Structures are given as structure tokens and as C-alpha cells.
Copies of this chain bind each other. A is one copy, B any other.
């Protein structure tokens, strides 16, 4: 009954015990194969006795399908990434794929990792908020491997991407803060090298300029809580500190809140307005009560899945740039204007394959 011999049980062992051919064993474990119930039963019995389970490795070799999707995430301290990964991995598992995970440090070079991923013959690669070198973009393209950037765009339009409308979000926040009567605005950027941060800033600053607002103050928070805390302290130490701060993501907004409320004892929403970007769950907690721009996480993942399905089904599928609308979530960390600006642009619907 037990084995103890370290040689793993193969379909031949099962075949011998069940008194059938090896291919019968294969069929017994294949969904919808033509096989008699009695045979399948015999095989399963024998398999259970021996502790046999089909090897996906051998199967992959012949079917040329690994059932693996490579997922690259930039560390999981940012709850938005953690939430994205969680939702994505569930959805992928649901459709029968397994996730080969790579957690990177934020400034790692992804190329060596991607090289590894490709050797595993993943059927697609999803990069969460990470950038793809043009070299690897080319490598993936020529091996016909679908690549999907989630929460990030790429200059070259050779890979698909899903983002929400960062520029529009930044602009809407400008309108919102102006409507609230704020005088001295500030922006805390993620990183200067990040296109995501730049888009949000561009939308914000351009709209402000259009409306004739004064120039803003600006700091960089390195996308992190700590970085944003330091940035906020610098901002507030100014001779004319801002009365409103827009942070390029929620983590940094919460960092700002921690300094302004926790360290300085100010009341956010009255003494100063803080606005974030992402709408992570934490922002809704009473102690933060963060006004923010919501990125439609569920729709982003749904679109990711739809795009992947399409690319997996049909190779040489054209890359898709999918941009989803977000929306302002009004909570208490920023003053609410008497008359709210109209945010109803014409939002793009989620991508459907």
C-alpha cells in the first residue's frame, strides 16, 4: 500500500496494478476523454492505492501548455499591490492557471527575473506596477508571449496595459481642491522616474494652470509612507505651508495624515486638506477617513483577465491599451466644497474580449 521507495509513482505503475494500458490511465485522468466508467473506476482505485497523481510537468512538455502565468509584483508593503495580487491570483486560479510569483524590490532590474520566468514557459506575464525594459518587451514579443502591464503603461505600444485615468484623476482633484477654496496647494510625487506619478501630476498641474491657480509646492515621497512623512514635514516647515496636499498614492497620503494629525495635532479636513490616490481599504477607516481618487481595482482585474483570455486564446493578438475611469471618494480628510465640480467626463468602459 505505501511505497517508501522514493521513485515517484508513474502512470505505468498504475496501469500494471489496474490491469490496463498506460494510455487508459492517462484517459482516466483527462477531462472528457472517451473511457468506460468501469475502466476509469479501476484506474482511480489503483491510483489511490499507490498515491499516484499525474505530472503536470510531463503533460506540459507534450501539450506545450504550462498552465502557468508569471506575475511580477514590486513588493507587497503597499496594500494596493497586495490587493491587486490577491484579486488577480484568485481570478487566475479560477480559470485554471497557476501563478508563478516574483516579488521584486522596487528598483530591481526585472530582466534577469523575466529570463527565468520565460524558461518556465509561462503562458503569459503580468507585471503589476513594474516597468518592462524595451529589450525584454522585444524578447517577449518575438517568442509570442503575451505581456500585460497592470497599473502601468509602457511607452512602446508593443505590450498591453491596464491603467486608470491618472491624468483625469489628477485634474479632477485640482478642480475639487480649487472648489474648496484652497490657496496654497502641494503635490507629493511618487518618484520622478515614474510615469504613473508624472501622469497624476500632469493632470493636476495643468488643470491648475488652466484655471489660473498659483504655482504649487512639490516634494517627492518615494511612493512610501516613510518618504511621504519626511516630505510632509518639509512641506509644513515652510514659511507658508500648504493648505492642501495631493499625494500620488494613498500610502503617501496616509503618511501625510500621520504627520499632520498624529505629530502636529492638526485636524485634516479643517486645518488642511489631504487627498490620496488608489482608494485602498485602509483609507476608509475612521482614523484616516481619507478623501481619495478611486482606481477601479475590481474592473482593472476583470479587464486584465479578459485581455489575458483573449491573448491566450489567439496568439498574435494585438496589444491593448485599456484605461479605466476612476472616481472621487469624498471622505473627511479634505474640505468639501459647497458646490462640487462636475466630474462626469465620458469614461471608457472596461475592456471586453
- Chain A residues within 8 Å of B, Cβ to Cβ: 2-3, 6, 8, 51, 53-58, 60-61, 64, 66, 68, 71, 75-77, 79, 82-83, 85-86, 89-90, 93, 98-103, 113, 115-116, 118-121, 139, 142-144, 225, 254, 257-259, 261-263, 281, 285-289, 315
Contact = CB atoms under 8 A, between A and B. Distances in A.
Given A55-B121, A79-B79, A262-B289, 19 more contacts: A8-B121, A51-B139, A51-B142, A53-B115, A56-B121, A57-B60, A58-B61, A61-B61, A68-B100, A77-B79, A77-B82, A77-B86, A79-B82, A86-B103, A98-B116, A99-B102, A258-B286, A259-B286, A262-B285
Contact of A263 (B58, B99, B258, B286): B286
Given A64-B8, A103-B90, A118-B53, A287 B288 contact: yes
Contact of A119 (B55, B139, B262): B55
A53 B351 CA distance: 33
Nearest to A86: B76
Contacts of A263: 286
B100 A99 contact: yes
A80 to B, nearest CB: 11
Nearest to A117: B98
Given A57-B60, A75-B86, A101-B101, A6 B315 contact: yes
30 contacts: A6-B144, A6-B315, A8-B121, A51-B142, A51-B143, A54-B119, A55-B121, A56-B121, A57-B61, A57-B66, A57-B120, A57-B121, A61-B61, A68-B100, A75-B86, A76-B85, A76-B86, A77-B82, A77-B281, A79-B79, A79-B82, A85-B103, A93-B102, A93-B103, A98-B102, A101-B101, A257-B287, A258-B285, A258-B286, A287-B287
Nearest to A87: B103
Contact of A89 (B8, B54, B102): B102
Q: Top 6 nearest A-B pairs by Cβ distance?
A: A262-B286, A101-B101, A76-B82, A262-B287, A89-B103, A76-B86
A85 B73 CA distance: 12
Contacts of A315: 6
Contact of A83 (B6, B76, B261): B76
Contacts of A82: 76-77, 79, 82
